[in-house]
Structure 1
Amino acid sequence: MTLPPQVAGFDSASAMVVALARFLHGQDTPPLGKPGFRALRPVAAAASRLPAGVQEALYSAFSGAEGRQEAEIARLDMDAISAGIVQAYPRRRYPAVVIGSSGGALVHLCAALGVPWLPQTLLLPVRQRGISPDDPQRAAHALAGTARAMLDRNPDLVLHHMHDPNQDRLTLRRMAYFRVKRRTLGEAYERFLADHLEPGGLVIVAECGKRWPVTHLGERHLFQFGAVGGIPPQEYRQGSDRVTDYLRRYGADRTRWVAPVADGDAPEAEWGFEPVLRDDITAFADRFGFRVRRLAFDEPEDLSPLVADLYRWWYRRRGLPGNRLFVDSFILLDPWWTLRAGAVPYWSVFPVQPSLTALEKYLGDAEPYDHIQLALFCHGVESAGVAAAGQWQEVLNRARVTGTFAGVSPRRYPRDFRTFFGFQAALRRVRPRRQLPEPLPLTGFDEFLGEHGGRYPGLRTQERLMD
């Protein structure tokens, strides 16, 4: 199962498409979405013991290797890319299809319902050399010609050139982040819906309302400095003590970043939903007699408590205990093994302070868990706002019986590259293994929302009635 090479595999949308598509094919999720990468586990274990500087060079080379030549991105045909996305899913009829924002909790919801998800946003990695991660002024304009050429060929796209020197420091040494958002369904998504959505079926529009300051560089061309993670937008632009400490730690010749002036805000590059797409979905649904339901939320993690509680409710209806919590981290998720382990999934966007706070709030509100397993995505740098291993250990101490890290060493975090292999092994070791259930009917999800939906203030659902 291979996505188009112009789409980054080391990214939320593509990794989540692969995880969900493989689940719907009855398969688990291999390391970084590629079965061949299983052979790299000994390499990752050895790399985790190397000096920090060597580790950073290896991470930069590996993650930045996905960057494509500017000429290839300039002549990109997004309809062909979308066709490659839909080909990942099994060819059968579905009661619903989800379209819109990325999110690990959303993937687990789709797995429970047995339905596919089509992302609005994809990451196009562009090869980049000689631009410091700490020079957003230069980065903003370095690829302007490539951006313009690609947008002229694809008039239904909005390009968010995202530059985050805090969390993506190592990858930015070798590639730029072109995140593109669809404003219309396009031929491939329309054909998939027409061919694979049941008559009168439901299109669920997943809408994350997260926004971020941007600089407009041209028509449908935005530059976003910073991204969702450990620090808020104002710290990227105004600086702070922890930003200064971070820059000094990595030898930068400055104490704060200087970025192009923001002249507005827009849907956040990776997670935010571009609402123009909703109008095109609604018009298409009207033509084919499909129903449309909005699933709107403010922050990328807002669905995590709901989906965790939904799984617990579903397990107990099936006579299972629902007493094991597995905390995903960014692209470290596997819906197939989660269900085989009888685990309740809680998706954490990154191992950063805001995600830690959100998880602590969930655990404070939820019935206690006997077992908690915790994955930690390791991005190779001690970024500003990252939560320390000791803080995550305190979360594990909330378990009534056992709390364990899932495939990551707290001593080597955030540079333990075994995490990309070990989190699944932790799920595979859980006994007893459960049989995969039949999908939860949409009526079951509606029943859960009717009983418990009021507990999630960040969630808004609304179904549009057909005329």
Structure 2
Amino acid sequence: MGGPFLPQAYVLTLKKGSLDGNVQNYFNLSAETARIVTEKNPGVMSIQHYDPIHDGWLTKRVNHLRLKLLDMSEVYQEYIRKNLLPGGEIIYLDGGAKWKQYQVGPKNVFQVGGWGDISAEEFLYGSDRIRAYCKKERMKFSDWQLEGYPLIDGPESEWGSEPGLAESIEAFCKREGYRFTRIAFDDPNQFNVLAYKAVEKQLSLAGREPAGTLVEVFTQYDASAVLRSGLVPLWLIFNTNDSAEFLAKMSPNFKKDRPVFFSPLSTFSVTPDLVPWEHWEKALRGIDWTNVGTRISHYPADTWTVIDWQKPLKDWCKENEAPITNLLDGKTLSELANEIKSNPF
């Protein structure tokens, strides 16, 4: 697109967590902070996010408070006026993912768990595999219901867009003379398909074939590798079973005569829904792929990948430099999005 990404959500990582998995204690850590922030900032809502499994080693020591914009901030408006050409385009990615949340205030919710292969209900009410995990991790509590607050279906903390911001941006575009394009998916993986197909489209319009495929996971990614080399990106949400299933559905699209790079993620925790290594291999069956992430001997806890996982990938990109220079507009992205809704894979 040739432009910056402005997020709706910002995460504050605050001191102290819950060593024993006590959901009430975790809630109490930032409940008052969340209330004060949203009272002083009318265009902001808060989500206290507690995932004692996927973020288990973190939530024992820190707590997460996510803030989301409900209105287009003055800072964003000023930034766009200064940097976007007159008549330029703003593309809004509208995530429709839902999750069970506790309504703890007018603009405040509390969410237990997050996207992966464990449902919201399993997080709240427990299960045999969660109890076994908590016992192994020496957590006293293994179900995480917050008493005294109504349970609602709300926009998922990480992958759901809060209502209000899209309408605010569209109104801003009408006032300022910018074009507005809204692309909406309920499943966050569909945005990953869109990114994959968008780069394919860029290369096709430039008369080029993909240089190969780059599969990356969560925070272990290098966007510059795609722009420098013409690799087609497939981003996976996390190293949980649902991401391996998504990869298996997408891998038949990979160019078999071109390199395929895969960067398995190091999370330093063995969760109940962690992808076994052999399932990654199964998802990539029939493909000669190169590992540029966590080593099989250390999965899922490879310190080396945290320090310098990008080096093999950067070396390849340097030797195969072929930058992508053309851009796509919102109309083309919308057309691709509609195709994905009809045929997701």
Provide TM-score, normalisation by structure 2.
0.91
Is the Cα contact below 8 Å between 2:211 and 2:229 reproduced in 1?
no
Structure 2 residue aligned with 1:426? 312
1:403 pairs, out of 271, 286, 289, with: 289
Aligned residues: CA RMSD: 2.3
- Cα distance in structure 2, aligned partners of 1:248 and 1:214: 25
Are residues 412 and 458 of structure 1, via their aligned partners in 2, closer, same or farther at CA, if it must alter by over 3 Å? farther
Letter in 2 for 1:152: E
Is 2:226 aligned against 1:342?
Answer: no
1:318 pairs, out of 199, 206, 213, with: 206
Is the Cα contact below 8 Å between 1:158 and 1:183 reproduced in 2?
yes
User: 1:227 aligns to what SS in structure 2?
Assistant: coil
Structure 2 residues not aligned, in runs of 5+: none
Provide TM-score, normalisation by structure 1.
0.68
- Cα distance in structure 1, aligned partners of 2:314 and 2:339: 32
Shift in Å, 1:198: 1.6
Is 2:344 aligned against 1:456?
Answer: no
2:109 pairs, out of 213, 217, 222, with: 222
Letter in 1 for 2:218: F
Shift in Å, 1:335: 1.6
Residues 108-257 of structure 1 aligned to structure 2 (within 5 Å): 113-129=1-17, 131-132=18-19, 134-254=21-141, 256-257=142-143
Letter in 2 for 1:126: L
Is the Cα contact below 8 Å between 1:315 and 1:321 reproduced in 2?
yes
Is the Cα contact below 8 Å between 1:407 and 1:426 reproduced in 2?
no
- Cα distance in structure 2, aligned partners of 1:458 and 1:151: 39
Structure 2 residue aligned with 1:381? 269
- Cα distance in structure 2, aligned partners of 1:369 and 1:231: 36
Letter in 2 for 1:419: T
User: 1:271 aligns to what SS in structure 2?
Assistant: strand
Letter in 2 for 1:428: K
Structure 2 residue aligned with 1:305? 193
Percent of paired sites with the same residue? 25
Structure 2 residue aligned with 1:355? 243
User: 1:411 aligns to what SS in structure 2?
Assistant: coil
Shift in Å, 1:434: 2.0
2:177 pairs, out of 281, 284, 289, with: 289
User: 1:215 aligns to what SS in structure 2?
Assistant: strand
Letter in 2 for 1:352: T
- Cα distance in structure 1, aligned partners of 2:211 and 2:225: 16
Q: Choose 196-205 or 257-266, whichever is displaced more.
A: 257-266
Letter in 1 for 2:114: A
Structure 2 residue aligned with 1:65? none
Is the Cα contact below 8 Å between 1:179 and 1:269 reproduced in 2?
yes
Letter in 1 for 2:234: Y
Letter in 1 for 2:341: P
Is the Cα contact below 8 Å between 1:389 and 1:411 reproduced in 2?
no
Shift in Å, 1:244: 2.3
Map Cα deviations across residues 442-462 of structure 1 (whole Å, 9 max, x no partner): 2xx645764x555411899xx
Shift in Å, 1:237: 1.4
- Cα distance in structure 2, aligned partners of 1:219 and 1:458: 37
Q: Choose 184-193 or 262-271, whichever is displaced more.
A: 262-271
Is the Cα contact below 8 Å between 2:229 and 2:320 reproduced in 1?
yes
Letter in 1 for 2:186: D
Shift in Å, 1:132: 2.6
- Cα distance in structure 1, aligned partners of 2:166 and 2:145: 32
- Cα distance in structure 2, aligned partners of 1:285 and 1:412: 50
Map Cα deviations across residues 420-449 of structure 1 (whole Å, 9 max, x no partner): 34432132132642232323142xx64576
Is the Cα contact below 8 Å between 2:44 and 2:68 reproduced in 1?
yes
Letter in 2 for 1:328: E
Are residues 321 and 411 of structure 1, via their aligned partners in 2, closer, same or farther at CA, if it must alter by over 3 Å? same
Are residues 250 and 278 of structure 1, via their aligned partners in 2, closer, same or farther at CA, if it must alter by over 3 Å? same
- Cα distance in structure 2, aligned partners of 1:171 and 1:208: 26
Is 2:162 aligned against 1:274?
Answer: yes
- Cα distance in structure 1, aligned partners of 2:283 and 2:292: 13
Aligned length: 341
User: 1:414 aligns to what SS in structure 2?
Assistant: coil
Structure 2 residue aligned with 1:259? 145
Letter in 2 for 1:289: G
Structure 1 residues not aligned, in runs of 5+: 1-112, 461-467
- Cα distance in structure 1, aligned partners of 2:77 and 2:162: 18
User: 1:270 aligns to what SS in structure 2?
Assistant: strand
Is the Cα contact below 8 Å between 2:245 and 2:283 reproduced in 1?
no
Letter in 1 for 2:340: Y
- Cα distance in structure 1, aligned partners of 2:99 and 2:30: 21
- Cα distance in structure 2, aligned partners of 1:339 and 1:308: 13
